[in-house]
Amino acid sequence: MAHGRIRARIRRSNLYTFACLRPRTTEEGAHSLEGPGFSRTVHCNQPHLHEKKPLHYCKNNISTTKYNVISFLPKALFEQFRRVANIYFLLAACVSASPISPFTPVSMIAPLVFVVGLSMAKEALEDWRRFLQDVKVNRRKVTVHKGDGVFDLKAWQKIRVGDVVKVEKDQFFPADLLLLSSSYDDGICYVETMNLDGETNLKVKRSLEVTLPLDNDDAFKDFTGKIQCEDPNPNLYTFVGNIEYERQVFPIDPTQILLRDSKLRNTDHVYGVVIFTGHDSKVMQNSTKSPSKRSRIEKKMDYIIYLLFTVLILISMISSIGFAIKTKFQTPDWWYLQPKEAEYQYNPNNAALAGMSHLVTALILYGYLIPISLYVSIEVVKVLQARFINKDLQMFDEETGTPANARTSNLNEELGQVDTILSDKTGTLTCNQMDFLKCSIAGTAYGVRSSEVELAAAKQMASDFEEQESDLSNFPMPKNKARGLSENNRMGGEIEMERVVTSKSDENKKPAIKGFNFDDNRIMNCHWLEEANSDVHLMFFRILAVCHTAIPELNEETGRFTYEAESPDEGAFLAAAREFGFEFCKRNQSSIFIRERLSYSGQPVEREYKILNLLDFTSKRKRMSVVVRDEDGNILLMCKGADSIIFDRLSKNGKTYFEATTRHLNEYGESGLRTLALAYRKLEEQEYSAWNNEFQKAKVAVGSDREETLEQLSDVMERELILVGATAVEDKLQKGVPQCIDKLAQAGLKLWVLTGDKMETAINIGFACSLLRQGMTQICITTMNSDSLTNNGKEAIREHILNQITNASRTIKLEKDPHAAFALIIDGKTLTYTLEDDMKHQFLGLAVECASVICCRVSPKQKALVTRLVKEGTGKTTLAIGDGANDVGMIQEADIGVGISGVEGMQAVMASDFSIAQFRFLERLLVVHGHWCYKRIAQMICYFFYKNIAFGLTIFYFEAFTGFSGQSVYDDWYMLLFNVVLTALPVISLGVFEQDVSSEVCLQFPALYQQGPKNLFFDWYRILGWMGNGLYSSLIIFFLNVIIFYDQAFRANGQTADMAAVGTTMFTCIIWAVNLQIALTMNHFTWIQHLFVWGSVTSWYLFLLLYGMISPYYSKNAYQILVEALGPAPLYWIATILVTVTCNLPYLTHISFQRCFSPMDHHILQEIKYYKKDIEDQNMWTRESSKARQETKIGFTARVEAKIRQLKGRLQKKQSSIGALSPS
Amino acid sequence: MPPETSTSSAGGKEGSSGPSSKKNSKKPKYSKFSQQELPAWKPILTPGWVISIFAFTGIIFIPIGLASLYASEKVVELPFQYDQKCIPSEYSNNAEAYIKSTTTNKTCTATFKVEKTMKSPIYVYYQLTNYFQNHRRYVKSKSEDQLRQKSAEEDTDDCKPEARTPDGQPIVPCGLIAWSLFNDTYKIKVKGKHLKISKKNIAWQSDQTKKFGSDVYPKNFQAGGLIGGAKLNESIPLSGQEDLIVWMRTAALSTFRKLYGKIETDLEANEELSLVIENNYNTYSFGGKKTLVLSTATWIGGKNDFLGLAYIFIGGLSLFFAVCFLLMYLFKPR
């Protein structure tokens, strides 16, 4: 390590009573590994033996790409032609060469090639990015044994099964390893498995005794061994295998297995043998192929396409039948067609065949109903939208230097429709870093700094105050105005004070010490000696310093101790103890040494505490104790643990500070802090030795009930405690998390927290994020004591849970208060039952009613299951956000997966659809980008169908006037260019640049976001409205033109219009009408939109001009049409104006009417902004903005509102009582 | 964003302030475009705008409508439907036989009165109904190449079934369109004097110069088994056959007019016109009507009341909306 650190070399396994049970090697003997599923053989340190079959296992490089060079073309093509529309166009292109086709082959094939090519290029690009990501992981380096005891760096991908690797501290394991030895004498090491299961506390792994001597590089010169073990499987917590070493066979169990993607912690280095590589490793076996997700809008779009196909088939049928009838009965009379000579497709003698062949013709001809460029336009738009997301500076994290990244662009618009967010906790909401913030000693609360939650709430309260003040002054205050005012002032004063606190702590918020953010002069710098119960203080500090499993490390440069603790809170306690003057400086096998400073000036005194027993922390026990003998010979049991557990174990005379401490604990909980209660007990020598005898006996005993006995014995000891105080540690939230959650809540989103952590932690974080607050009814659903599990059977438990659920649902139904809020808290074990088919709907029904839901101790699989339940049960869009590999399942399962990037593990990001560096960016991602993208895509698709219906139907109408013969009134080139050029760019600019309101307004009015989840812009009402608009436009365009042009001369020179003139005029009208329509649809015109919209119209005339100029060999009847025929004719121009205006008049009337009489949210906001009301009329502005958040039940805004309601209620009560006292 | 607002998470072991240039290498560059902050025009349909847009549309449309109507009113149109009138009474039940027969006398005379003064130029049209010039088989049945240049004489692939004579000679011009060329002729006499019906400049200039070759002469035309419509003078190149050029521009609908010629003298009101019609063209087999139309033209072309009425209707509607919105805004403001 860079800074020389000195660490006591001790056998750490002695520390643990529970966590690191001795493996029962000698008793049990080797596993018998027979039969299928246990075929893997690993020759340790002889990787060359694995180069040939059958022992050739897969390489250690991983690949998450969808395609490779060879499979790209077929696979990507297959993907493209899974879309019905594309198949249709492919078939159309195929028949376009035959005489049946109404168009030239080029005009069918060119757009298809263009469209499919573009989509495939995009796929290729995205896969390429994934490939680069893989390469980065595969090229990570690790130290590998090269032979003769020489170790050298090697890339991960080159590691083979059987290699011996040396992993250094804070590195990831490159593959699944068998732990051989570690830098600790007893071969244990600490592993962080956050990427696998999300648990933050470190796991202890220990090597086999026989391999302990392999603790330096040279020892591997001649090391060989043979491992027989299970085949690759996805179970993270099981492993069965044997190692044959030095002619003896030893069993291996999961404690010796180091899994890929977990991280070595607190241990300098370990040696290990590679067992599973690459895709064989457990973590990779666990990962499923990321499903390709499609957004809701796109799925709905399919239905629209089907609808249009139906229409297409319908009108094709109509025209084929019409054609057959005409051919049969009328064309024989049409001598000018020479019907007797007719080819089969016009043959009146075989009208049926003619009709059939015409059906094909018609299907191709009316193909313009299906917008061929829709998919590709959407893809282009989405890629550009994704680029905007990637480029957004306000989602760029300066600290880690990572921008937001839209990894797939398929789901942009889905971001605007999210209903439920499922969030991981550690690493997502919190930084997993604890700061000692407050404490309560002997019934007195210390610590003046405020937690982030308090700060945020205070800020909110202060800003809300002015607005609330006006409301308050409207209260009926008949006589006692002065009184009311003073009440107001009091409240103001309170807030004033909080404000001072806020600003003060903002200034000196420079926590120089990791894990310590405490400030209170009463007990700092030995001032505690002057406090009333200084002996209690002393005990408090001693418990902090002694009761833990950490090891000190002396940093030689600074001369200070840092601590390597299992969990960050322990580190925070030790840092706090150090700052209070109780520096833990040394640990050896039997003792802890504390440097205690007991006076202001005096030198610290080093005291020794002999550790007699250590009863370590388990999630079941929820407490930890040490039994120590101090220098005076007293035996003390020091205990820290969850308050509920400790309070149950207090002695009668140990409850002196019980009430005060409880109050403080509630306050701390309310401020979102993580609390533990501290207590101790003095033991008599005899009592102790009697107990210890039993305990030691139990410890060495062999048998299945050993653990249970130990627990019972511990339980006996940890009673009759004397309460000393409580600690409050802030689990540091990531920056801006409470604010973000608040905004998301205002946007109407539900937030579920799914965490692998224990319930208390989760609840604390719930408080910290304002997901929970005082006054909220917490519904905890748990299983009964797990002991009864075996006898009563599962049925009873299920019954029990079901009861809880139905009771809770009933309570919610009976609740009258509209402001009442409920929170559901459930743990993993219970979830296993509730996720079963028979109960999950009840559970979901309950969960949906609750304002916030917290699931704790859930496994990665359960996270995915819960996500699926929410997704499928509510049918609404879910978003999962997480940072570790344990979130991968959930991220893949959810409609949208968001990964937190910037931390080391990349699994979550690799599986995600979007990655952001910080949770707080989620707000902008959803409320701004999601909202915009949703509206853009929705409007764009609607418009697309509109324009193609408006255009496509005119072809059909014309058909009806040509005897359904399949003739098109438009030139092939017009039609070719319609989708690809003439109307392509405006709609793309709508999809990329449209903004209903600016990003600031989006953020100020998160409620606007609800337009997405409510799907206001893509419901059938709106879609059909647009289609109706298209139908109307097509009718107007066709019939007005036909009536104007059909027989009369259209210019002063007497010429009548031929087909080319009518077609061109009609087409001009279409171009104008659809472009004016899009201009009316847009709210936001930058120069780009102006250029594209008006440019499209101009480009049509330009095209016409140029097309008319080229040789008539190509332009045919369109030759010189604009210059010679149409341009000089005033009728052409005024007909265009008439048709264009008539087409758009209903839409204009509709939007005018809507805006005037039933405006939507964004209309109002636009107008407020437009009239600059926000500046002129502050009151209205704030009223509007507060209106937007009335509904929320979580977030600190809701918390503040609840508080204000409380105050108001009190005020009212007071007034009424005053009124009653002094009748007028 | 200030660069170092680092939370308390600093203070750790790792030097949190790495080389900032490296860290920010991924930082997106600021531009108004990439941040979606380009200056934009954000029009809002405020009541003021709504009312003015509708009022403006009304105010523009109604005058245009009136002007169009006025122009349309100035057009004098004299239609004369002759398909039944020109069938001798003995053939009235068997018009098809009459028209197909080569022996019957097709000349037919009629008189009619000019109701209003018609200023020259007066356009002579023939109008056919129920004639599907827009039938796909018909529209395709021509060879652009062959019409344009002599060298492409053999290029008759698209012209079936009127591509070649039975002995394999290419037909020029080939195809159904040319083959079915309209062949009624009109002569008009006023006070016993023939009016000259000019056939010059009735086709588009560009068609004459670019699409119909001046070196392409009719060949083998109407020489096949079936005789369709008119025959062509084989000594005049196609570019000079303006009748053919007009006919070859297929009409969009089954009712259509085509320019027959121009009369360059004025016709006074109440003048008696006597027509001499060669009634050759067979529309009887499919029940099509034939009408001779004399019409003047103004800037909007022929008689077209519909356009003016449509303009006035839309303009009126807009004004009506403007008033509605104004009233609603005044009496029931939001």
Question: How large is the greatest C-alpha to C-alpha distance in chain B, in angstroms?
Answer: 118
Are A1124 and B205 inside 8 Å of each other by CB? yes
Identify all chain A residues contacting B22, using CB atoms and an 8 Å cutoff: 401
Q: Across chain B, what does the average pLDDT equal?
A: 84
The reported pLDDT for the residue numbered A201 is 65
Q: Which residues of A touch B50 (CB under 8 A)?
A: 1152, 1155-1156
What is the set of active-site residues of A? 424
**B204: nearest CB among A343, A1088, A1124:** A1124
Residue numbers in A near B330 (CB within 8 A) = none
Residue ranges of the annotated binding site of A for Mg(2+) are 424, 426, 883, 887
Query: pLDDT (tens digit, 9 = 90+) per residue, B259-293?
Result: 999 999 888 888 888 889 988 888 888 888 999 99
pTM: 0.81
Is there a contact between B43 and A1125 if contact means CB atoms under 8 Å apart?
no
A–B: how many Cβ contacts below 8 A? 292
Cα angle A685, A687, A688 (rounded to 5 degrees) comes to 65
| Cβ distance of B27 and A102 shorter than 8 Å | no
In 3D space, the residue among A764, A342, A285 whose CA is nearest the CA of residue B141 turns out to be A342
DSSP annotation string for A534-598:
HHHHHHHHHHHHHSS--EEEEETTTTEEEEE-SSHHHHHHHHHHHHHTEEEEEE-SSEEEEEE--
Angle at B303 between CA B298 and CA B305, to 5 degrees: 115
Select from A1055, A1093, A1105, A1171 the residue whose CB has the most chain B CBs within 10 Å, as the one to mutate to test that interface. Answer: A1055
Contact A905, A261 (CB under 8 A): yes
Cβ atoms of A228 and A38 closer than 8 Å: yes
pLDDT in tens, A762-790: 777 787 777 877 677 888 887 755 444 45
What residue in B sits closest to A902 (Cα-Cα)? B23
Choose among A333, A346, A966: nearest Cβ to B286: A333
Answer whether residue A103 shows pLDDT above 80.
Answer: no
Select from A752, A572, A763, A577 the least CA-distant residue to A665: A763
Q: Residue B17: its pLDDT value, please? A: 39
For chain A, the distance separating the N- and C-terminal CA atoms, rounded to the nearest angstrom, is 82
Nearest by Cα to A307 from A785, A1020, A897: A1020
Would the pLDDT of A23 be above 50? no
pLDDT tens sequence across A427-458: 788 877 788 888 898 888 888 888 776 776 67
CB contact under 8 A, B285 and A1043: no
- Contact residues, chain A, for B258 at CB < 8 Å: 1056
Coil, helix or strand at residue A273: strand
Taking only the tens place, the pLDDT of each residue in B26-85 is: 788 888 888 888 888 888 888 888 999 999 999 999 999 999 999 999 999 989 998 888
Candidates A976, A970, A990; CA nearest to A1069 is A970
Q: Which of A394, A967, A1045 sits opposite B135 (nearest CB)?
A: A967
Q: How far apart are CA A590 and CA B314, in angstroms?
A: 99
Feature table: binding site of A for ATP: 424-426, 570, 617, 640, 674, 755-757, 857, 863, 886-887
Can you give the pLDDT at residue B53? 93
* Nearest-by-Cβ selection for A512 from B11, B162, B329: B11
Among A635, A636, A633, A614, which Cα is nearest to A623's?
Answer: A614
Kindly state the helix (H) or strand (E) to which residue A276 belongs, with its residue range: strand A269-276
Mode of pairing for the β-strands spanning A405-406 and A914-916: antiparallel
pLDDT at residue B1 in the model: 36
What lies within 8 Å, CB to CB, of A456 at 6+ separation is A738, A739, A742, A770, A1196
Cβ pair A1145:B253 closer than 8 A? no
Phi then psi dihedrals of residue A412, to 5 deg: -50, -45
SS3 at position A807? helix
Q: How confident is the model at residue A1185 (pLDDT cuts 50, 70, 90)?
A: low
CB contact under 8 A, B64 and A1134: yes
Using alpha carbons, select from A583, A523, A573 the residue that is nearest to residue A552: A583
For the stretch A992-1010, pLDDT in tens is: 999 888 888 888 888 888 8
User: What are the pLDDT digits (tens) for A372-400?
Assistant: 788 888 888 988 999 899 989 888 888 77
Judging contacts by C-beta atoms under 8 Å, the chain A residues touching residue B36 are 388, 993, 995, 999
Q: How far is CA A968 from CA A353, A536, A963, A1050, A1114, in A?
A: 21, 97, 12, 21, 17
How close is the nearest chain A Cα to the Cα of B28, in Å? 5
- Report CB contact under 8 Å: B22, A513: no
User: Which of A220-224, A697-701, B36-40 shows the lowest mean pLDDT across its residues?
Assistant: A697-701
Q: Which residues, at least 6 apart from B15, have a Cβ–Cβ distance to it below 8 Å? A: none
Q: Measured between CA atoms, how close is A831 to chain B, in angstroms?
A: 34
Which of A962, A1048, A1164 should be substituted to probe chain B, the one whose Cβ sees the most B Cβ atoms within 10 Å? Answer: A1048
What chain A residue is nearest to B52 in terms of C-alpha separation? Answer: A1152
Q: How far apart are CA B326 and CA B207, in angstroms?
A: 53
Q: Give residue-wise pLDDT tens across range A1044-1060.
A: 988 888 888 888 999 99
Chain A residues touching residue B29 (CB < 8 angstroms): 391
Share of chain A above pLDDT 90, in %: 13
Report, as an integer, the average pLDDT of A726-731.
86
Q: Is the pLDDT of residue A473 over 80?
A: no
**Does the beta-carbon distance from A1156 to B251 stay under 8 Å?**
no
The verdict on a CB contact (< 8 Å) between A961 and B145 is no
Helix or strand or coil: residue A916?
Answer: strand
Contact A967 B134 (CB under 8 A): yes
Of A725-739, B235-249, B280-294, the least confident? A725-739
Burial B139-165, CB ≥16 within 10 A → b, else e: bbbbbbbbbbeeebbebbeebbbbbbe
Residues making up the binding site of A:
424-426, 570, 617, 640, 674, 755-757, 857, 863, 883, 886-887
The answer to whether the Cα torsion of A1077, A1080, A1085, A1090 is positive or negative is positive
Q: Which amino acid is at B161?
A: P
> Residue A1114: its chain B contacts at CB < 8 A?
none
Three-class SS of chain B: CCCCCCCCCCCCCCCCCCCHHHHHHHCCCCCCCCCCCCCCECCCCCHHHHHHHHHHHHHHHHHHHHHHHHHHHHCCEEEEECCCCCCCHHHCCCHHHHHHCCCCCCEEEEEEECCCCECCCEEEEEEECCCCCCCHHHHHCCCHHHHHCHHHCCCCHHHCCCCECCCCCECECCCHHHHCCCCCEEEEEECCEEECEECCCCCCHHHHHHHCCCCCCCECCCCCCCCCCCCCCCCCCHHHCHHHHHHHCCCCCCCEEEEEEEECCCECCCCEEEEEEECCCCCCCCCCCEEEEEECCECCECCCHHHHHHHHHHHHHHHHHHHHHHHHHHHCCC
Beta-bridge partner residues of B79: B293
Q: Quick one: pLDDT band at residue A321, thresholds 50, 70, 90?
A: very high
Strand order in the sheet with A605-615: A444-446, A430-441, A722-733, A674-683, A635-641, A623-629, A605-615, A591-596, A582-587
Query: How many angstroms away from the CA of A639 is the closest CA of chain B?
Result: 29
Average pLDDT over residues B212-233: 82
Confidence of residue A1150 (pLDDT cuts 50, 70, 90): very high
ipTM: 0.92
Distances (CA, A) of B177 to A335, A826, A968, B182: 12, 83, 17, 10
